[in-house]
Amino acid sequence: MRRTTTYPVNGHNAMASWRRVAPFWRVAWNFFWIELSRFLPFLRLKSWLLRHLVGMDVAPTASIGVMAMPDILRPDLIHIGPESIIGYNVTILTHEFLPRAYRLGAVEIGAWVLIGANATILPGVRIGDGAIVGAGAVVTRDVPAGTMVGGVPARVIGRVDGDTRASRPGPPLSLEQETAP
């Protein structure tokens, strides 16, 4: 079960009341810095901007890939631990608008986690240390530490303890091997 708090909204659909989630100036500020950071290929600068200007709790050694999209309304509810990788175009949501209510929930990503490209993380989810989320997954519930999940909705597809190819990096290559066509 995701850890979210529900806030009912009367009258129009819940997104129409988005200013109840965060004030206009805060969202405009977050949007500017998050959009800028999405295009920056400088990992340390990106995590610094997100930490100091939009209030995300992102470790300096976390690597956030190009076009990753953290929640612009409540990025302060996102926690990303040291050495974790967030792939291209990953969406991390901490709010969700429903027709007659909105929900808020913190997303906690541990250390040495890999979130594959194009995955979506829903509000209120915890992803444990060393877990792997496959490309394109939609994470709707907690991912235990050391577990590999994939698919829509994300289901366990392995353990990150040697029984998956991704946990066997193999011997280091020489520079010539790495750059060979």
Ligand X SMILES: O=C(O)C1=N[C@H](C(=O)O)CCC1
Ligand Y SMILES: CC(=O)SCCNC(=O)CCNC(=O)[C@H](O)C(C)(C)COP(=O)(O)OP(=O)(O)OC[C@H]1O[C@@H](n2cnc3c(N)ncnc32)[C@H](O)[C@@H]1OP(=O)(O)O
Q: How far apart are CA 73 and CA 95, in angstroms?
A: 7
For residue 110, the minimal CB distance to ligand Y (Å) is 16
Instruction: Give residues in contact with ligand Y (CB under 6 A).
Output: 65, 85, 87-88, 114, 116-117, 132, 134-137, 148, 150-151, 157, 164-166
Q: Work out whether 65 is an interface residue with ligand X (CB under 6 A).
A: yes
Chain centre distance of CA 179: 30
* Binding partner selected for residue 22 from ligand X, ligand Y, none, CB under the kind-specific 5 to 8 Å limit: none
Residue 65 or residue 75: which is nearer to ligand Y going by CB?
65
Count of CB atoms within 10 A of residue 45's CB? 11
Q: Closest residue (Cβ) to ligand Y?
A: 134
**27-46: contacts with ligand X (CB under 6 A):** 41, 43
Residue 21 or residue 85: which is nearer to ligand X going by CB?
85
Q: Work out whether 66 is an interface residue with ligand X (CB under 6 A).
A: yes
Q: How far apart are CA 18 and CA 27, in angstroms?
A: 10
Please list the helix, strand and coil fractions of the chain in percent, rounded to the nearest 5, in that order.
25, 25, 50
Q: How far apart are CA 115 and CA 127, in angstroms?
A: 10
Q: Which residues bind ligand X (CB under 6 A)?
A: 41, 43, 65-66
